Structure 1
Amino acid sequence: MAGANAVLMVVAAIILLPFAWMLLTVMRSPAEIFSDPFGLPQGFGIVVENFHRAFTTVPMARFLFNGAVVVTVLLFLQLAVSIPAAYALAKFPFSGRNLLFGLVVAALCVPIQVPMLPIYIALAYAGALDSYFALIFPFLFSPFAIFMLRQQFKAFPNEIIQAARLDGFSEIQILLKLIVPSARPVIAAFAVFSITAHWNDLYWPLIVVSSQDMATPPLGMLYFRDGDLGTDYGALMAGAIVTVTPVMVIFLIAQRQFIKGLTMTGLK
């Protein structure tokens, strides 16, 4: 047990090392960063200046707003699509159901880069690039959400559903009042996955966004580069801290539901 704990502590230290380096960098002036890269910061007065530059050098507040809009709207739409689809796959016997579920599972194996070129071309022809629609549309269909929710819905007792139908409940009422409340941990687990993935996504925004006004937080970090002055590492690390903090707070708040949701779906 002691050996396992020691290994876990070493792994945790390796994982936390970049965050410690980020904190140390934001406490230094540019001269200190390059003159003594492995030394401790001499003072904390530079911290306020680095955070001030992070919000004045680039429109950081706009980046955070764009990221919040994208992840919030996208999560709502993903659940609006995935919950009815998962319910149908779990509880409605129809021809081709197993084939359809097989296609959902197969979609989990397709790298996100594969369909991006035709989607980009379609958005370009529609004149929809550099917009919230372009950032959200390719991810509306989430095979992962359908898979997780279907596994949870399938375990819901059919007897309760039949009793609810006899009591006059519509399928929408059964779904929203009975099944969805029972799947809150699974929904919370998927929400953490979705928010983290799309808040940190750089690949797709880098392709479809061409203006600062539509940049998301990861893409906004690239604007700290200056061709003449170089990268302002102190402000960059301050911006990175601001960008990482919301995701960490969300995970800490939803941690218990997140773990419970993974356990309920049989994923570990």
Structure 2
Amino acid sequence: MDAYSSPMFVLIASGITLLSLVVLLLLILLCHRIHKHRLGYNPTGNTDVAIDLDKLPSNVAYHSTGAHLNPKLECLEFPRNDIIYIKDLGQGAFGRVFQAKAPGLVAGEEFTLVAVKMLKDDASEDLQDDFEKEACLLAEFDHPNIVKLLGVCAIGRPMCLLFEYMGKGDLNEYLRKCSSTCYVPRNTDELFKELPKENQLSHVDLLNIALQIASGMVYLSERKFVHRDLATRNCLINDQMIVKIADFGLSQKIYLQVALQFFNSIYSNYFF
């Protein structure tokens, strides 16, 4: 029997051939992967495709930002990252108050000095609602003796209100500073001196302050608003001696319907 035709030789030759085919196939696959890795995936075509976006289904998960901005405050929204801090002014009922500069806040001004009232981080939901209500309330007012709300930072937290800066602070402290009974001499030479002229208020000055507050209250009354906490501590004064009513956290709008119901009830009780 020929050695090449023996069953053992045929078996060995078949095994070698099969193994060679497997190795060759693996080499081909390896080369293909290396070539694909070097070239990257084939880019899609750059042909312009007209897509009607109105026909695409809306997906709330993609388009929702989580910010529900009150329409009254939308036009006053100011980017919080643009606020330039200057110094702290104090602590209010809602949170911290500080002086800052706001670029481009008012038309024609490169920077505007503002007093920023910032809501405290741990504020309750009720306090947040009151803070937003005060902002919506002030957004409706436009009077020279009512403090002006210039901007809000309602998107994100904490919420901030940007008011015009009043250089002399609250009226209560200013009147105390201008009172001779509160004047404290810095040394013995000033012991018998009069109050400095810049801190003296005449009767005309006091009358002017009272008239400005009354003017602001008339404006509120005409719009059926009650302040409910009018006091010198809730009024501000600037370097030009202009007084403005502030702190409307306790304000309440009084509707004519309520007044009519009240008078109707009195009329029915006393005349019928």
Q: TM-score range by the shorter chain?
A: under 0.3
Q: Per residue, is there more helix in 1 or in 2?
A: 1
TM-score by length of 2: 0.19
Q: Calculate the TM-score normalised by the size of structure 1.
A: 0.20
Higher strand fraction: Structure 1 or Structure 2?
2
Q: Quick check: which has more Rg, 1 or 2?
A: 2
